[in-house]
Structure 1
Amino acid sequence: MDPTVVGQTTTGGSVDSRSRAHRREVGAGALAMLPLLIGYVPFGLLVGVAVSRSTDWLAAWTGTITVYGGSAQLALLELTAGGAAAWTAAGAAVLVNARLLVYGIALLPTFASARLPVRLAAAAFVIEPTWVVALQRAESPGTVSERRWHYAGATVVLTVGWLLVVTAGLALGQLSTPALGVIGPLCLVAVVAPHLRLPGGVAAVVAAVAATTLGVAMALPSGAIPLLAMAAAVAAGLGTTRNGRPEGTRG
């Protein structure tokens, strides 16, 4: 057999093999994201309802992609609705999303060697669920390229799913349906419950509730109350842990 033909066959087979591996990773990343996306449905509906109450709901809905962070988008909408200056609302959103810098640094081993467009695209979609899926994949065998495709599959599912959920919340808000009354409690359960299992989680939740109650009693602007609650939760969570362990544990 002609060695040239053998080389071409081998190369073609190698390319096909990599292509199949990448498709598998995209599918695996999409499947890994589905349970996380389902957990965010109540929160997405709540954001959608907030969008529907904006004076310019189309611009507010567009923020679902440009802000790409439910907490930051909700803070932005609430502060704007409360009459806060544009720079104040934008500053609050940036502050809420500042945590994403830490997540981005954690993903450097996967994307540091990628081309600039790939790094920029990956950075644009760094958020808690994509970060979690990426870290879980990094703990399994595989190439850097496979991990990137896994991240891509997870990102597509989260982005499309989040847009659909927020849009559904927007429709519910415009319909003024009685179902809106259950969205808040569902969101609270979905967001709070996972944190109760973490070190310092109970203290963080209690501190957040206390801070929220205080903020309401002091008649603080509605957009400032979530920021106060988050700060109290972080302080309480850190205060009840030592070296990554809950206080009272040893070893």
Structure 2
Amino acid sequence: MDTTLRHTPTREVRAALRDLGPVALGLAPFAVLIGVTGVRAGLGGGAGVLSSALLLGGSAQITALTMLAGGAPPLAILAAVVLVNARFLLYAAALEPWFRGQPAWFRWLGPQFVVDPTYALAARRDDLDAAGRRRYWLTAGTGLLAAWVGLTAAGAALAPVLPATAALDVAAPAMFLAVLVPLLHARPARAGASAAAVTAVVASPLPDGFGLLCGIAAGVVAATLADRSSR
């Protein structure tokens, strides 16, 4: 018997938007940084907004905008973007069940939204049938795209009044927090995140980023122990 839940379209759309909320909030500083970078690199606000619509990937956007501002040749920029986004191949492989047996139009359109946040959201949704996966994925993907482009435009508009380093200081931690939040429903994930945060704060005075490395190590150990104890 097929035990997969078949939700109503409204319920799946609501679930996607609800799950996307904290992710978009965490990504806001990074998206704003994209807009700021485009303006301060002399490329104009349109460059950041356009890259958000086409790439939908902060790391690749920062790389491309920085290289464009430095006068790098197009092929070098393209190669750098491909290299930075290579991790999405692993995400796509893990998400293969979401695209298996889907209509051709979805298999062509859906991969545009394979990025860190959507992967994290989909990884915890194993209760949907094929139609439910389409609705959830497209709602989360288009919602993320709209938020990302809008926040990038806001960054471009605010670039003249924002402090030089304010967005940069919080962008990377916020991005990883946004990816982590949807996964905190499991006890090992909560234990790992808590141990990593406390250790990183306590060890922050250590030089050369060792405090962050200590936090990562503590998080891995705590999550592993919690996972073993829960079996």
Q: TM-score, normalised by structure 2?
A: 0.72
2: CA distance, partners of 1:127 / 1:191: 12
CA displacement at 1:23 relative to structure 2? 2.2
CA displacement at 1:90 relative to structure 2? 1.5
1:22/1:146 contact within 8 Å kept: yes
Find the residue that maps to 1:105 and give its secondary structure. helix
Deviations 1:85-119 (A, max 9, x none): 22112211111111111111111111121122111
Q: Does 1:190 align with 2:190?
A: no
Q: Residue type matched to 2:57 in 1? A: G
CA displacement at 1:179 relative to structure 2? 4.0
CA displacement at 1:124 relative to structure 2? 0.7
Match of 2:31 among 44, 65, 77: 44
Which residue in 2 is equivalent to 1:130?
118
Q: Unaligned regions of 5+ residues in structure 1, if any?
A: 1-17, 212-232
Deviations 1:7-27 (A, max 9, x none): xxxxxxxxxxx8x81122012
Find the residue that maps to 2:8 and give its secondary structure. helix
The number of equivalent residue pairs is 199
1: CA distance, partners of 2:84 / 2:93: 17
Query: Structure 1 residues 192 and 157, CA, compared in 2 at 3 Å: closer, same or farther?
Result: closer
Which residue in 2 is equivalent to 1:118?
106
Deviations 1:142-168 (A, max 9, x none): 312112211111112211111111000
Q: Does 1:163 align with 2:159?
A: no
Larger deviation: 52-61 or 94-103?
A: 52-61
Query: Structure 1 residues 56 and 25, CA, compared in 2 at 3 Å: closer, same or farther?
Result: same
1:30/1:156 contact within 8 Å kept: no
Q: Does 1:61 align with 2:49?
A: yes
Which residue in 1 is equivalent to 2:79?
91
2: CA distance, partners of 1:106 / 1:34: 23
1: CA distance, partners of 2:124 / 2:176: 22
Find the residue that maps to 1:23 and give its secondary structure. helix
Which residue in 1 is equivalent to 2:65?
77
Query: Structure 1 residues 101 and 159, CA, compared in 2 at 3 Å: closer, same or farther?
Result: same
Find the residue that maps to 2:37 and give its secondary structure. helix
2: CA distance, partners of 1:115 / 1:193: 33
Query: Structure 1 residues 144 and 197, CA, compared in 2 at 3 Å: closer, same or farther?
Result: same
Q: Residue type matched to 2:130 in 1? A: V
Q: Does 1:21 align with 2:5?
A: no
1:31/1:154 contact within 8 Å kept: no
Q: Unaligned regions of 5+ residues in structure 2, if any?
A: 1-5, 181-191
2:48/2:156 contact within 8 Å kept: no
Deviations 1:12-67 (A, max 9, x none): xxxxxx8x811220121111111011000111111110122344432442111211
2: CA distance, partners of 1:181 / 1:46: 10
Name the Cα RMSD after superposition: 3.3
Which residue in 1 is equivalent to 2:92?
104
Percent pairwise identity: 29
Match of 2:21 among 28, 34, 41: 34
